[in-house]
Structure 1
Amino acid sequence: MKSITNLICNHRSIRNFTNQAVSNEQCKQIIEAAQSASTSSFLQCYSIIRISDKLLRSEFAILSGDQKWILESAEFWVFCADFNRHIEVCSNAKLGYIEYLIIGCIDTAMMAQNAMITAESMDLGGVFIGGIRNDIEKAVKLLYLPKFVLPLFGLCLGYPQYIPEIKPRIPWEVIVHENKYHPLNQKILERYNLDIKKYYQNRSNNKRNDTWSQLIKQLMIKEMRPYMLNYLHKQGWGIY
């Protein structure tokens, strides 16, 4: 077992996989570790849908923006915030509160991170796929999801064909605040922009000339799935 700190700090998204399968025993261990994540009030409000059907994977690859690694990875799982089983236990559950939606997203994300770390401890690699929300209603139909089951993201898992460089994270001094929130330190940001520019220019694939600030300026002015709020309301989420 690798050092947990080194393991976590060496994370990188893997989008190229070998043909080697992931065993059922490995999958079981990954899922058991995922379930061991903290869960608010012991609600355990999540589900994983393992997609082994190649045609269904192809649908998700297209839906997600032609992400071919969904087809090429040994495993593709969809992580869902899931309160359907809670409705079956408590038919008058008041799931319209936004807090339940927040809890479902947090619980699911924490279990997914446990899954990724466990997979990486087995020398597997993976990448999360938020693109399944590009057409969330189609994703729901493809998986026959009942009400109050929300597909949040996919996860490709498999043995890496090659290991890409680690993408530098923003310095910890920017994200850790002492006693109160502090303005962004522009000097630290500028140093980070230079680090990111150097990373993009020197990495093995998809070289570019961007800084982190340039990337943010490109991304944050775009519409971001504007249909999501109406969809959530239609499904009974976040109406209170």
Structure 2
Amino acid sequence: MNADVWTQQVARAYDESSAHMYLPEVLGPTVDFLERHAGGGPALEFAVGTGRVAFPLSRRGVPVAGIEKSEPMARELRRKPGGHGMELVVGDMTTVRLPRRFSLVYLVYNAITCLLSQDEQVACFRNAAAHLEQGGRFVIEVFVPELRRLPPGETTRVFHVGGTHVGFDTYDLVNQHVVSHHHTTVDGRGSTFLSPHRYVWPAELDLMAALAGLSLIERRADWSGTPFTASSRSHVSVWQKPSDPSVRP
């Protein structure tokens, strides 16, 4: 993951810039889904960020620990009420190992794509599996690559034009990379934020899961449980570690 993207300036503005992700109709179903799959056990959030999901999930009675590579993002989490009481490790979600197992490991809001190589994404699945108890579940929320929306021969797609913000994606189709460009103007002052990602297909994620000893048990188009179809623009997928350690998917 490119921690240099998540600077102090970006971290301090993150909650405000992602305010739509805090809306009850967005966050409520997210927490409901994760609480159900935690099954009463503890949870571990990879790329916990500023705690958007971790705090409300912990208020439901689910003990939540977090791993976050960006120190500025971790500092923002610590600043919040209850932040110093949450177990938080600053480090890489592909390699950091906590000394216990969890019933749920989860990764939300496209964070798997912040790992910019296939090897890193595979390592993330293996690290998730290593943290899961038998029968535990790994949940990922991520967009479906929107290559069908690219005109033939084009590598750029505009995804938002507003009064203060213009956003567009540029694609490297050979390496499965996409860079999201955000250009914002406030009070006559402009700023630019570039966010690189490695997009990944649902079937590719299923293969990564199998390599880690996990098997798919559920895939929805969103946290509310909308059926996943060929036209879905995102998915929430759940893979499970076998209850019997001698069984592989």
TM-score, normalised with respect to structure 2: 0.29
Larger radius of gyration: 1
Comparing both chains, which one has the higher relative contact order based on Cα–Cα distances under 8 Å and sequence gaps of 6 or more?
1
More helix by share: 1
